[in-house]
Structure 1
Amino acid sequence: VTEFLLSNYTQPKELLFAIKELAFLGGNTNTGKAIMHTAETFFVQENGGRRGHPRVMLVLVDGWPSDDLEPAAMLARESGINVFLVSVAKPAAEELGMVLDKDFIKKAVCKDNGFFSYSIPSWFSTTKHVRPLTERICSLDGLLCSKTCYNSVNIGFLIDGSSSVGYTNFELVLDFLAGIARSFDISDVGARIGAVQFTYDQRLEFGLFDHPNKEDVVSALRRIPYMSGGTSTGSAISYASQKCPNAGRGRNFLIVVTDGQSYDDVRGPAMAAHRQGITVFSVGVAWAPLDDLRAMSSEPKEDHTFFTREFTGLTDFIQPLVRGICKDFTDNN
């Protein structure tokens, strides 16, 4: 049950009065459902969520949850919500047999590092724990879940514009990249996306700082004119490594889309990009050699290399690529 939203009260006195007026509901401890409801409802802009501000959820549990909270906690983490769980009056030894998941605290919190979990022995001693809890919540450096793969990545699109692609297929490539872009929270304080098209030459279509929102990025992708020409993927990787993933914040990714063999070496430029901390995904179509694709990709190769015979098959890679970026982000943060 939503008692009030972030946008309902702006004055401390009004908020305190609203809290004191809350009525006791009773019933089961459906912590998972509560976290899911809060994650889906509270932090959207129309309900008071503010872009660029940390998202914090403080969960008070008496005893133990009566439902599965892991999926809800995962959604909260992916949404950039810092979940703190305060356990009041832990279950007694004879009650442990009734606890569905003894690791529920570890699974619920933002990170299982001790910072996001807090234990209070009884409800009679809660007031003396207000200050230490407040200090944790207000510790910006400690709010590790504020940064997610959706709002803290820099992604460069490296687009093959060679003659073998053709106008129709080039539009399919742009559709594919627009689908990836839509998956991220693009803003001046969030994810950033840039694009480079290449043949023998390279052309910066737009940089990471050129378009501060998702709609502008998708629109800019749609407007990219097809170049036509040869294929020098190695030089393009070197160029894109300098032009795109260089925002000074967040993790850096480069997605290379090509349909043929490069006329120059791809291994050297790709290794240089890897050393710069750029994670490279290669997406090959039609005649793109698997050896070149694997040479460009980051390790493990099988997780960063994609291939399809037809340009129409590119859309099947949108979600696997987004999941791959999120996995790399999570594993390295």
Structure 2
Amino acid sequence: MSSSRGGLTMWFCDGLLVGCPAGCLLRRTSVFGTNVYAAVSSVCGAAVHSGLLGTSGGTVRLKRLQGRHGYRGSSSHGVQSQSLSHWISSFSLSKGGNSVCVCVCADCQADIAVVMDSSTNIGQRRFNLQKNFIAKLAAALKVGATGPHVGLIQASDSPKTEFLLTNFTHPKDLLFAIRQTTYLGGNANTGKALLHAAQSIFSSELGARRGHPRVLLALVDGWPSDDVERAATFARDSGINVFIVSVAKASPEELSMVPDRNFSRKAVCKDNGFFSYSIPSWFNAAKHTRALSTRLCSLDQLLCSKTCYNSVHIGFLIDGSSSVGYVNFQLVLDFLVGIARSFDISDVGAHIGAVQFTYDQRLEFGMFDNDNKEDAIDALRRISYMSGGTSTGSAINYAVHNLFRPAARGRNFLIVVTDGQSYDDVRGPATAAHSQGVTIFSVGVAWAPLELLRVMSSEPKDTHTFFTRDFSGLSDFIQPVVHNICTDYSHNN
């Protein structure tokens, strides 16, 4: 590995051995961070920071670290590092060992739609270079029947689908299809192409696989002719991870002609740097395929993928009657906190809300009141015990109308925790909730009648009904409830 190589991509590896040559110089190297941390630097530049390597070279182990905020610059080994407000990943160095981590797309199973630029702006020559880049990217992805699937759409005046995700799952057939793609010309209507791809390519009827991450990669030569924001919003709402690769960005003289200079930031899944990629020219684009393919296959970084953990809306309906008691009420809250911790609660992810009931109902916090997990869990823990009677039926009606918005089946869940007999009818309210797409889990404790629990719970009753004699047994239900929520979600989405 030469000392001038930069931008080492380490999205998958827990540990990777690399060699640094003797006489490694620090020219053209940018070092960020302090001590053993480095980001956006050459391997040798990072090694100087830790003092592990001298000019004689050697082997070091790199380990991926999570991103950091507010990292201060410092001077180390004669190198002044720069400060960073934020980055999404970095790596540390330690003494080399014997094991090696193979760090590519071995387990990648994403469905990837590529939107290529076929506008007049790119021209025939650069269009051919773009096809070569896509072919090399497909090879790096290791496309196969059980691996990544790739579809291709051309962006021009109107989008044109060249082939679907399942048309070519053999590498040779796929490469041939890419090279057979013909140049269209016209406007670079990337927004239209993104919307077309998001609305059609990823449908199960056209071959998109259920439960597989969905990635939409747009290649843009210069800048788009149309607006991309509407298409990007639709893609995000549909669980599609949009990447933008900008090639040959506008020069300072051309900026006045660009309709929206922030098009890339608006189009990507999340404006955190991970989903945007810049290539100076099509003539050297091929050397970027490995780094880009690794990003596309970094499943833990694909923040817009819809899973049960980041897509469901869970309402907690909590019995606050006198028979529960203060101590047991805290055990109920602990149980609900355990469930909440299992989900990725955020403004674009999962949401939770809570209602406490006796004869009356009290909205503790709404489904969309907290946009991060920490605040949501704090809100749960702050719930104060009411004490009173038990009217579960009225509480179900109240929760359905005050917690949930209309959503696709398998998205809205209501977990009812109660310790006794309801003084009102529960069958009617529960049936109404089911018909409105709300899946009910009934969790009974102590004197809660099993028949009542099964009347409330959704089908199949056995996987949506839980009972324990003692409040301390609630913790045993955390994982089964979470598992069954995800089973319901997967079945319906």
> Are 2:465 and 1:305 aligned?
yes
Asked if residue 290 in structure 1 is aligned to residue 450 in structure 2, the reply is: yes
Pairing 1:209–2:249 present: no
Matches within 5 A, 1:188-203: 188-203=347-362
**What is the one-letter code of the residue matched to 1:115?**
L
**1:236 partner SS:** helix
Tell me which protein shows more strand as a share of its residues. 2
Tell me if 1:331 matches 2:491: yes
1:119 aligns with 2:170: yes
**Deviation (angstroms), 1:47:** 6.1
- Match of residue 433, structure 2, among 269, 273, 288: 273
Equivalent in the alignment of 2:333: 174
Alpha-carbon deviation of 1:129?
8.0
Residue 128 of structure 1: how far off its partner (Å): 3.0
Closer, same or farther in 2 for the Cα pair 1:273/1:287, shift >3 Å? Answer: same
**Is residue 156–residue 254 contact of structure 1 (8 Å, CA) maintained in 2?**
yes
SS in 1 for 2:371: coil
2:390 is matched with which residue?
Answer: 231
* Letter in structure 1 aligned against 2:9: F
8 Å contact kept, 1:88–1:123: no
**Map of 2:9 onto structure 1:** 4
Shift of 1:60: 8.2
Query: In proportion to residue count, which structure has more helix?
Result: 1
RMSD, aligned α-carbons: 4.0
Gaps of 5+ in 1: 10-17, 19-40, 50-58, 74-81, 90-103
User: Which string of whole-angstrom CA distances, capped at 9 and with x for unpartnered residues, describes residues 2-22 of structure 1?
Assistant: 94157xx9xxxxxxxx9xxxx
Distance 1:122 1:330, change over 3 A: closer
Q: Which has the larger radius of gyration?
A: 2
| SS of equivalent residue, structure 1 residue 151 | helix
CA deviation after TM superposition for structure 1 residue 146, in Å:
1.5
2:71 counterpart residue number:
none
Q: Does 1:48 align with 2:93?
A: no
Cα deviation, 1:151-199, whole Å, max 9, x if unaligned, reads 1111100000000000000000000000111111111111110000000
Structure 1 distance, partners of 2:416, 2:485, is 14
1:55-134 aligned within 5 A = 69=107, 82=110, 84=112, 105=144, 107-108=146-147, 115=165, 118-121=169-172, 128=179
Deviations 1:6-60 (A, max 9, x none): 7xx9xxxxxxxx9xxxxxxxxxxxxxxxxxxxxxx799788638xxxxxxxxx98
**CA displacement 1:68-106 (0-9 Å, x = unmatched):** x5xx86xxxxxxxx45598759xxxxxxxxxxxxxx955
TM-score calculated relative to the size of structure 1: 0.67
Do residues 245 (structure 1) and 404 (structure 2) align? yes
> Residues 3 and 161 (structure 1 numbering): CA distance in 2 closer, same or farther, change over 3 Å?
same
| Letter of the structure 2 residue corresponding to residue 48 of structure 1 | I
Q: Which residue of 2 aligns with 1:92?
A: none
Identify unmatched segments of 5+ residues in structure 2: 1-6, 12-29, 31-41, 43-63, 69-85, 90-102, 114-136, 151-163, 184-193, 202-215, 218-230, 242-303
CA distance in 2, matches of 1:231, 1:221: 21
Which secondary structure does the structure 2 equivalent of 1:156 belong to? strand
Higher relative contact order (Cα pairs below 8 Å, separated by 6+ residues): 1
| Shift in alpha-carbon separation, 1:166–1:42, aligned structure 2, 3 A | same
Identity, in percent, stands at 58
1:164 paired residue number: 323
